[in-house]
Chain A
Amino acid sequence: MWEQYAAALPANAWNWSAVWRRNYMAWRKAALASLLGNLAEPMSALFGLGFGLGLMIGQVDGISYIAFLAAGMIATSAMISATFETVYGAFARMHAQRTWDAILCTELTLGDVVLGELAWAATKAVLAGTGITIVAAALGYAAWPSIPYALPAIALTGVAFASLAMVVIALAPSYDYFVFYQTLFLTPMMYLCGAIFPVTQLPIALQRVAEALPLAHSIDLIRPAMLDRDASSVGLHVGVLCIYTIVAFVVSALLLRRRLMR
């Protein structure tokens, strides 16, 4: 009975790395363009909003607006990078390019493939998030000694959003559906979770909603690290992101098994 589902789970702890390395090899061929594409949007948001709005806003939470915004942009770019790599990159490898079909004829299971894709999407999130972190730090908007603490938080953000996006591609019949995910889930989340302004500006009911959303927990981990402040409830934030990751991973693997292994 359970053997039926074995194919949906990773076969061991290292098989996934072959999938990661395949994607890394493909990415390396166009690395510069890809990095530029990943960084350009959050950078322009950071500087456009940061300098422009910053003039009118002045200080937020006792720091300059652009320093406040930096952490929000790092978390958001990690979210967007991981999501886009999954809904466009991984979906193409599953659907149009049939790369997954080829891999599933080898020793790897579907669970190995999904895990490898998640790890790769998280890697791209780390690249994007780290890029902005370095720029922000170089310009003096972040505190050097505590920046390394932001890295694991960025990676966890990437893995959580990659898993959620994996559920989306398991269900989506075509590319057209991804825009719903973006406009109905990701974009509202950016406004609700304290990326652009403090959550305390929201009505109390919406603050409650934000507490349940993964991006809020990412930002609560990344912002203190960027500003060298004491983080509170680290265990809670990490726990919530881990739960999102694990539940979405299992759900996506089972859905993909139903979709691909009929």
Chain B
Amino acid sequence: MLGGVEAAPISRRTIAMKPAPVTPTDRGGEDVSNVAIDFTAVKKSYGQKVVVDQLSFTVASGECFGLLGPNGAGKSTIARMILGMSSPSAGKITVLGEKVPARARLARKRIGVVPQADNLDLEFTVRENLLVFGRYFGMTAKDVEKITPSLLEFARLESKADARVTELSGGMKRRLTLARALINDPEILILDEPTTGLDPHARHLIWERLRALLSRGKTILLTTHFMEEAERLCDRLCVLEAGRKIAEGPPHALIDEQIGCPVIEVYGGDPNELCALVKPLAQRTEISGETLFCYAPDPEQVLARLRGRTGLRVLQRPPNLEDVFLRLTGREMRD
């Protein structure tokens, strides 16, 4: 679980790390070929309400970059700004070398999008959905027919080609949306909470498909509030809270740096009393709701101290991104 990714010296609150797979030449440098998406000091506000605040990040070509944060952190707004569907109030956005939103249409030619809510055409069949969507990219019916079999195979929907969308399960609809997003053979895929609302089996199938896309060299920008999704898929993450970046880096480096020791979760008792009991043995403790999180380099000692107390549920596990978020914000990311 604790990968051997070594982390550079990091400040306490904001962690900036170089992109992992490909390091773009320095900011402001003109070689943009390795940079898929670049945000510089982007701000978005609706009236008094600031939704995205002074956000800068760079997504390198071929990497999977995650925007991780609870609902309302600004993830979807960022995705919409990348597509030019929302204009930043300040700052600069460049996508595939095009200035956005001014030249967003040209950038969108090379982007595929899986939106948060399915917006497939319900009255059409699977095949017709692909045809209609291909036309939005200037493709002819022949162009679309040619690639339809490979898209259906990729989405594991070969047997459903002539089924209406209303007959598909939630997982199938998501996979069709993913196939639809690939119709223009995009360089970048923007996925807004791609597995929200799916059952675990359907979710794993989507993850497996996304990894297949990464191995083909596609760049993925993914928003999620699932720790597991972010940990499994993303080369690098930007952790957001209330529109601000609170950490950035490879998931395992973030976990190592911020936590770096096993975690013991205790619930079923008075968390404050338990906290006082184990505090001397732990590096750090945190109470969230009725659960005590105990970060202890030597978990055996903590477990020994708790032994004999009845009614407690104790779980020892490796640290994860949830712990990172909890540490940085004092809150759980789960909604």
Contact = CB atoms under 8 A, between A and B. Distances in A.
B136 A103 contact: yes
Contacts of B85: 104-105, 260-261
B44 to A, nearest CB: 9
Contacts of B332: none
B23 interface: no
A139 interface: no
A6 B83 CA distance: 14
Contacts, number: 74
A101 B137 contact: no
A262 B121 contact: no
A106 B119 contact: no
B137 A106 contact: yes
Interface residues of A, number: 28
B271 to A, nearest CB: 42
B117 A98 contact: yes
A257 to B, nearest CB: 10
Interface residues of B, number: 31
A197 to B, nearest CB: 42
B170 interface: no
Contact of B104 (A7, A19, A21, A25): A7
Given A3-B102, A101-B115, A102-B119, A107 B124 contact: no
B277 interface: no
B138 interface: yes
Nearest to B115: A101
18 contacts: A3-B101, A15-B138, A26-B124, A97-B121, A97-B122, A98-B115, A98-B119, A102-B115, A104-B83, A104-B85, A105-B83, A105-B85, A105-B108, A107-B108, A107-B136, A261-B85, A261-B86, A262-B86
Given A4-B101, A106-B136, A260-B85, 20 more contacts: A3-B102, A3-B103, A6-B105, A7-B104, A7-B105, A18-B135, A25-B124, A25-B128, A29-B123, A97-B121, A97-B122, A98-B117, A99-B119, A103-B136, A104-B83, A105-B85, A106-B184, A107-B138, A109-B105, A262-B86
